């Protein structure tokens, strides 16, 4: 059994991760970490997640749980994730990162941590989304510069970063296939008299509404036709199950920074 810890165990994603770990025959939840100020520190993690008593109590720091786990799953904030990456690198613990909103400098810090311990980092752990990344690469290569590209994403009202990490990952996959630099061609929303569309741009549109778990559509359009590749997530369990799959794949892998494309053998 692979001993797994969950960062942010009382959150929406944390509870889904606890459920997914508990349901998998090869993983065991052995630790869960909350904010030190949380009134839920010391609570049974299974009861927090609604899966029944597990006998594993929520702790207030990763440090006090280091001896309890082999892999840490972190879907929290860039600052927390980077602190945990440095700790895991020093202590030889494996790390699964589903945190979004990291900038280039922060991603470089993850790369550095990956030189010391195995890490899987993905803006989206869903198997379906990562298949879409591959399909987008194939579509962009086949359709080429004659097709405009627009990306539309929707998430729940509580999401704090925009566009989503998944939408940006989709944009990067398309841009790379077309030989473009996303930072140079991305357009984030339009307003007013914008003029005709630059054919090299990749547009992003963002919605934050209700309890949407995650919807993403990439549109390739030209005169006379439109191709759309869409993924819709209806439950956070799809991300949680992908993270558990990454945990199992990571065993015995050498230190490096991996992606879900590596986990799914899609590269």
For residue 93, give both structure tokens. Answer: 């613990």
Catalytic member of 3, 134, 159, 176: 159
Residues contacting residue 245 through CB under 8 Å, at least 6 positions apart: 127, 263
Q: Give the β-pairing of 27-33 and 225-233.
A: unpaired
Instruction: Report the alpha-carbon distance of residue 242 to residue 130 in Å, rounded.
Output: 10
- The values of phi and psi at residue 10, to 5°, are -95, -5
Instruction: Report the alpha-carbon distance of residue 67 to residue 219 in Å, rounded.
Output: 47
For residue 152, give both structure tokens. Answer: 């539309």
- Is 159 an active-site residue? yes
Catalytic member of 93, 155, 216, 241: 155
DSSP assignment of 22-81 equals HH-TTEEEEEEE--TT-TTTTSBHHHHHTS---S-B-BS-SGGGGGG-SEEEE-S-HHHH
Residue 41 and residue 107 in contact, taking contact as beta carbons nearer than 8 Å:
no
Residues contacting residue 108 through CB under 8 Å, at least 6 positions apart: none
- Is 155 an active-site residue? yes
Instruction: Report the alpha-carbon distance of residue 163 to residue 7 in Å, rounded.
Output: 24
Q: Please return the burial class of 206, using the count of CB atoms within 10 Å of its CB with bins 0-12, 13-18 and 19+.
A: middle
Q: Which residues are catalytic?
A: 155, 159
């Amino acid at each position: 059994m692979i001993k797994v810890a969950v960062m942010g165990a009382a959150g929406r994603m944390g509870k889904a991760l606890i459920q997914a770990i508990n349901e998998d025959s090869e993983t065991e939840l052995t630790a869960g970490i909350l904010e030190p100020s949380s009134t839920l520190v010391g609570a049974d993690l299974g009861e927090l997640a609604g899966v029944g008593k597990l006998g594993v109590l929520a702790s207030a720091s990763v440090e006090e749980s280091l001896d309890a786990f082999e892999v840490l799953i972190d879907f929290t904030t860039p600052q927390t994730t980077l602190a945990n990456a440095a700790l895991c690198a020093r202590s030889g613990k494996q790390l699964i990162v589903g945190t979004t909103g990291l900038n280039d400098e922060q991603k470089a810090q993850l790369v550095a941590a990956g030189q010391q311990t195995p890490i899987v980092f993905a803006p989206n752990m869903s198997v379906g989304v990562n298949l879409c990344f591959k399909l987008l690469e194939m579509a962009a290569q086949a359709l080429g510069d004659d097709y405009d590209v627009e990306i539309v994403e929707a998430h729940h009202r509580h999401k704090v970063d925009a566009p989503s990490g998944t939408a940006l990952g989709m944009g990067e996959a398309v841009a790379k296939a077309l030989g473009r630099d996303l930072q140079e061609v991305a357009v984030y929303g339009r307003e007013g008299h914008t003029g005709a569309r630059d054919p090299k741009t990749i547009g992003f549109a963002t919605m934050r509404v209700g309890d949407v778990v995650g919807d993403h559509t990439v549109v390739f359009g030209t005169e006379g036709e439109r191709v759309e590749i869409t993924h819709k997530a209806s439950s956070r369990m799809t991300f949680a199950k992908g993270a558990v799959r990454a945990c199992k794949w990571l065993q015995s892998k050498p230190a490096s920074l991996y992606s879900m494309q590596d986990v799914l053998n899609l590269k």
